[in-house]
């Protein structure tokens, strides 16, 4: 069985899940490793998430971190619901 490439929504969900698994805060480097994206692609996706208000950048102890916001949590909940729904039909 061949590995299917992730679509945009799956990548966004993976990025948000990575932040959520680190108690809602993650350093950019850690996010890069956990999300399995190139630096350029990660920048593109974090820019989108920042613009949509799903995450925000904060400085904690002099280091940049990405912090999940309410819209990010809501997106993940809805994404999981849709995924379960489509899986139940074998899609």
**CATH at 23:** 1.10.10.10
Predicted confidence at residue 6, as pLDDT, reads 87
Number of domains in the chain: 1
pLDDT of 87 above 70: yes
Q: What is the mean pLDDT of residues 29-50?
A: 96
Q: Is residue 78 part of a domain?
A: yes
pLDDT of 39 above 70: yes
The model's pTM: 0.90
Q: Is residue 37 part of a domain?
A: yes
- Placement of tokens 């932040």 in the chain: 19
Residue 86 to residues 6, 14, 16, 37, Cα–Cα distance (Å) = 16, 18, 20, 25
The answer to whether the CB of 76 falls within 8 A of the CB of 17 is yes
Q: Helices marked H in 2-69 — which ranges?
A: 8-21, 28-35, 39-51
Q: Is residue 40 part of a domain?
A: yes
Q: What is the mean pLDDT of residues 35-44?
A: 95
pLDDT (tens digit, 9 = 90+) per residue, 54-78? 999 999 999 999 999 999 999 999 9
Total number of residues shown for the chain? 91
Q: Which domain holds residue 75?
A: 8-88
The answer to whether the CB of 35 falls within 8 A of the CB of 42 is yes
């Amino acid at each position: 069985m061949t590995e299917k490439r992730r679509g945009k929504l799956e990548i966004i969900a993976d990025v948000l899940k990575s932040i959520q698994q680190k108690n809602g805060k993650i350093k950019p480097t850690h996010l890069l490793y956990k999300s399995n994206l190139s630096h350029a692609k990660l920048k593109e996706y974090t820019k989108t998430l920042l613009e949509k208000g799903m995450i925000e950048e904060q400085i904690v102890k002099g280091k940049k971190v990405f912090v999940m916001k309410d819209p990010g949590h809501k997106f993940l909940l809805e994404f999981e619901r849709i995924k379960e729904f489509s899986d139940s039909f074998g899609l």
